Amino acid sequence: MNESTPPPRLIGLDWGTTGLRAYLMGEGGRVLESRERPWGIRHLPAGGFDAALDGTLAGWPDLPVLASGMVGSRGGWREVPYVELPATIDAVVLALDVVDSASGRRVHLVPGLRNTTVADVMRGEETEIFGALALQPVLAGRSALLLPGTHSKWVNVLHGRVVDFATAMTGELYTVLRHHSILGAGLGKDDPPFDQDAFLRGVQSARDSGASGALSRLFSSRALVLTGELALPAVPDYLSGLLIGEELRGAIAAGRINTSTPLQLIGNPVLCRRYVVAASCFELGMALPPRGAAALGLWQIARAAGLIPHVESD
Amino acid sequence: MNESTPPPRLIGLDWGTTGLRAYLMGEGGRVLESRERPWGIRHLPAGGFDAALDGTLAGWPDLPVLASGMVGSRGGWREVPYVELPATIDAVVLALDVVDSASGRRVHLVPGLRNTTVADVMRGEETEIFGALALQPVLAGRSALLLPGTHSKWVNVLHGRVVDFATAMTGELYTVLRHHSILGAGLGKDDPPFDQDAFLRGVQSARDSGASGALSRLFSSRALVLTGELALPAVPDYLSGLLIGEELRGAIAAGRINTSTPLQLIGNPVLCRRYVVAASCFELGMALPPRGAAALGLWQIARAAGLIPHVESD
């Protein structure tokens, strides 16, 4: 870092099941350096959480550390109880917990959120949500957010609070069906390049399944191959389209979205683009994700918690 | 076999993906002896199909052999083209194929059925269906049949023909979610004894999901554990209830069943009992399965094909 680089103020960690992302941040949440390690809470190196932390932060200064995600879950470093809905950033700040590493770093842990209306939970997405609200303040009034992924989260925000959310296991369902069921028979381990036609065909099949739902059409991913109507390499994207299409169909049926309210996507841009393509079949509007929501969310929570000394501006 | 045992006339094989059942049959399709081997088409012994056949039939007389199931699929001994709907037993007979074993046995192979209205296929269930129609002739006029399993089949019969069917991957979905997803986390490999309360709770959740469908509630199998509302050992049957409930909810929404027409179950009695329990939540009538449908179906097809010499009575 040369003299024009602002001084680092915070170390933020996005610590999930399969990976760990670390951000060295300066004023305003600007990411000065980021590191990514494969040390998710189920893939820790020898030495466990301490070794993963020290190995990832090696050479970084002694700054406040704030971590979100599965690191605060039952199988994580320390279990942090969920914050119940409706949840503000202040409620999250009040529920922060800490764990001290063997090397003397104090790690603050962000709690997840719990929906008690229906049994549902999230860990890590709450931080991305607060980051997105900071990036696009217009969302804080009233908005519908979608964070696609292994466990997609459908979120409603009202006056800066998370007032409702629901999980769709779309990503995980794709993975288990693709790699452990008859639907992946004959396919190699790696997915072929994106086949948009096959994907849209799957989306349309889900949409047209109506109230009976696309689960009743899952076997078509195999039957179409057996009857020569779908090429084997097209199966992964057909299946992906069927499952994402079912996620959208179900969300519309549940009243979570409608064709007049655009949905704000948050997360991986490549995955989000699939959702935009799928949404076109339902005549739904979806806004592409802002960049840097996870890191900025950590900054916002740390600032609200008073973890960052000498903040000159925001 | 003593003198009072009728002479054997046919060897029937129900040869699927994971197992092989062999029946030595006498007049009227009476099963004189049955054998079960783990040699499904994906688990063949050294020596392949020939060795599996010879090992299973060792000591049985030289009789016509008729086999149904995945043995006639693309990955089977010989691929037999599907018969298209509407399908009579005579159409199935006309499409029989043969393969000769190295040891000199001629094996006749039953074709599967193909639904061209929607892309769907079956192999093996057609034989159980024709067996059930012989066991309960009243079903041949107009009936709705359900063959639950790895790939459940919902079947409509009219005037002795299979006129429609659809596959629900309920059993396979359960297996992959139970053993390869987060929903099975913390559970051992074996399922605990049937927990009817947990099962019914899952069925009710699927029923109450309405048009949005139970896929949107799949994650509740995990979330309810994390929030302390479901005991971990209850997860398998809750998940089973959720998936079977969704199968029923979707079938009702698709107009496949209604509360005034009882559904005839065919297949494994233990699994069928789960469906009867689930059906009670929907106020649906389901008739328990007749015994011996698979074997009798093989007999019926063999007889219609003229494979059985000197039939004195039926």
User: Is residue A233 reached through a cis peptide bond, with omega within 30 degrees of 0 on the bond before it?
Assistant: no
Residue spans of beta strands (DSSP E) within B5-90: 10-15, 20-26, 30-37, 65-68, 83-84
The residues that bridge with B31 in the sheet, in sequence order, are: B25
Tokens for A306? 């008073």
Q: Are B236 and B221 in contact (CB under 8 A)?
A: no
**At CA A67, angle to CA A66 and CA A68, rounded to 5?**
130
Closest-approach residue (CA) in chain A for B230: A119
DSSP letter for B87, please.
B
Residues 17-56 of B with CB under 8 A from A: none
pLDDT score recorded for residue B3? 55
Q: How far apart are the first and last CA of chain B?
A: 21
Residue B80 contacts A, CB cutoff 8 Å: no
Return the pLDDT at A310. Answer: 60
Q: Which residues contact B7 (CB under 8 A, 6 or more apart)?
A: B26, B27
CB contact under 8 A, B227 and A173: no
How is residue B153 written in tokens? Answer: 């089949």
Q: Judging by DSSP bridges, how do beta strands A142-147 and A120-122 pair with one another? A: unpaired
Token digits of residue A37? 């390690």
Say if residues B67 and B19 touch (Cβ distance below 8 Å): no
- Cross-strand bridge partners of residue A11: A24, A65
B219–A contact, CB cutoff 8 A: yes
CA atoms within 13 A on the CB side of A271: 15
Percent of chain B with pLDDT over 90: 90
The whole-number pLDDT of residue B242 equals 98
**Among A218, A195, A212, CA closest to A274:** A195
Is the CB of residue A254 less than 8 Å away from at least one CB of chain B?
yes
Rounded Cα distance between A150 and A168, Å, is 8
- Burial class from Cβ neighbours inside 10 Å (0-12, 13-18, 19+) for residue A259 reads exposed
Question: Å from B63 to nearest chain A CA?
Answer: 32
pLDDT tens-digit readout, B76-108: 999 999 999 999 999 999 999 999 999 999 999
Whole-angstrom Cα distance, residue B298 to residue B190?
A: 34
CA of A168, closest CA in chain B: separation in Å?
5
- Residue type, position A204, single letter: Q
pLDDT per position as a tens digit, B116-127:
998 999 999 999
A13: left (phi over 0), alpha (psi -120 to 50) or beta: beta
Number of residues that this document lists for chain A? 314
* Residue A250 near chain B (CB below 8 Å): yes
CA–centroid distance for B183 within its chain: 26
Q: Map residue B93 onto helix, strand or coil.
A: helix
**Per-residue b or e along B111-124, where b marks 16 or more CB atoms closer than 10 Å to that residue's CB:** bbbbbeebbbbbbb
Closest-CA residue of chain A to B246: A215
ipTM for this prediction = 0.92
Judged by a CB distance cut-off of 8 A, whether residue B231 touches chain A is no
Which among B119, B151, B246 is the nearest to A227, CB-wise? B119
Is A74 an interface residue toward B (CB < 8 Å)?
A: yes
Contact B151 A219 (CB under 8 A): yes
List, run by run, the mean pLDDT of 10-residue segments along chain A (314 residues): 77 95 96 97 96 97 97 96 97 98 97 94 98 96 95 96 97 96 93 95 97 94 94 97 97 86 91 97 94 97 91 50
Contact B121 A181 (CB under 8 A): no
| Average pLDDT of the residues in B135-149 | 95
**Using the beta-carbon criterion (under 8 Å), do B229 and A119 form an inter-chain contact?**
yes
List the one residue out of A277, A272, A217 whose CA is nearest residue A242. Answer: A217
Q: Which residues of A touch B214 (CB under 8 A)?
A: 213, 215
Residue A101 near chain B (CB below 8 Å): no
For chain B, helix, strand, coil in percent to 5 are 40, 20, 40
- Give the minimum alpha-carbon distance from B98 to chain A in angstroms, rounded to a whole number: 21
Residue B18's CB: how many other CB atoms inside 10 A? 12
CB B78 within 8 A of CB B72: yes
Q: Could you report the per-residue pLDDT of B232-279, keeping only the tens digit for each?
A: 999 999 999 999 999 999 999 999 887 777 799 999 999 999 999 999
The answer to whether residue B179 scores a pLDDT higher than 90 is yes
Structure tokens at B9: 């006339």
Q: Please, what's the largest Cα pairwise distance for chain A?
A: 68
- Which residues 110-139 of B have a C-beta within 8 angstroms of A? 114, 116, 118-121
Rounded to a whole number of angstroms, the distance between the first and last alpha carbons of chain A is: 21
Say whether B214 and A219 touch across the interface (CB within 8 A).
Answer: no
Query: Could you tell me the CA-to-CA distances from B22 to B30, B257, B293 in Å, in that order?
Result: 13, 34, 14
Contact A172 B181 (CB under 8 A): yes
In chain B, what residues touch A181 (CB-CB under 8 Å)? 169, 172-173, 176
Cα gap B108→B89, rounded to integer Å: 15
Domains and CATH numbers, chain A: 8-136+292-304 (3.30.420.300), 168-287 (3.30.420.310)
DSSP secondary structure string, chain A?
Answer: --TTSPPEEEEEEEE-SS-EEEEEEEGGGEEEEEEEES--TTSPPTTHHHHHHHHHHTT--S--EEEESGGGSTTSSS--PPEESSB-HHHHHHT-EEEE-TTS-EEEE---EEETTTTEEESSHHHHHHHHHHH-GGGGTEEEEEE-STTEEEEEEETTEEEEEEEE-HHHHHHHHHHHSGGGTT--SSPPSP-HHHHHHHHHHHHHTGGG-GGGGTTHHHHHHHTTSS-GGGHHHHHHHHHHHHHHHHHHHTTS--TTSPEEE-S-HHHHHHHHHHHHHTT--EEPPPS-HHHHHHHHHHHHTT-S-S----
Q: How confident is the model at residue B312 (pLDDT cuts 50, 70, 90)?
A: low
Asked whether the beta carbons of residue A216 and residue B180 sit closer than 8 angstroms, the reply is: no
Residues 6+ apart with CB under 8 A from A263: A144, A145, A146, A257, A279, A284, A285, A286, A287
C-alpha separations of B47 from A169, B51, B101 in Å = 42, 5, 11
pLDDT at B219 over 80: yes
| Mean pLDDT of chain B, nearest integer | 94
For chain B, say whether A201 makes contact (Cβ under 8 Å): no
Interface probe for B, chosen from A117, A178, A212, A244 (most Cβ of B below 10 Å), is A212
Tell me if B176 and A172 make a contact (CB, 8 A cut-off): no
B182 interfaces chain A, CB cutoff of 8 Å? yes
How many Å apart are CA A290 and CA B303, to the nearest integer?
Answer: 69
A260 and B CB contact within 8 Å? no
